[in-house]
Structure 1
Amino acid sequence: MLSRQLAAVAGLALVMGATTATTAAAAPDPKPTTGVGECAFVEICVGAGVGSSGGSDDDKAAAPGKGSSKPSVPGPCTVTKMDPQPPAGSTVWEGHSPGEGAIYTRICPLAAAAAGITGLMGPPQTFWAAAPPAAVVDPAQLAQQALDKMTLLGPDIQITPKPGGKGVVGMPVWMWTTESAETYGPNSASASAGGITVTATAKVKRIVWDMGDGTTVTCTTAGTPYKAEFGKKDSPDCGTRYSDPSSTEPGGRYHVTATSTWQVDWQVDWQVNGGGESGQLAATRNNAVDINIAEVQVLN
Structure 2
Amino acid sequence: MLTRAVRSRRTPLPALITLGLAALLTLGLAAVAVPTAGRADPPDVICPPGQTTCDVWDDDPGGGGDPGDGGPGDGGGGAGGTCQWNGRVVPCYDEVLGWFHNGDGCYYKLIEPRPEGTPDGFDWYLLTCNGGDLGSQRTELRDAPPPGFGTPPDPAELARRALASIDLLPPRVAVAPRRHIGPGLVGLPVWMWASTAQPGQPRHYFGPQQASATDRGLTVSIAAEVDQVTWDMGNGAEVTCSGAGTAYRSESPLAGKRSPDCGYHSGYPEPGTYQIQAATHWTVSWSGGGESGSFEITRTSGIVTIDIDELQVVTQ
TM-score (norm 1): 0.49
Which has more helix, going by share of residues? 1
Higher Rg: 2
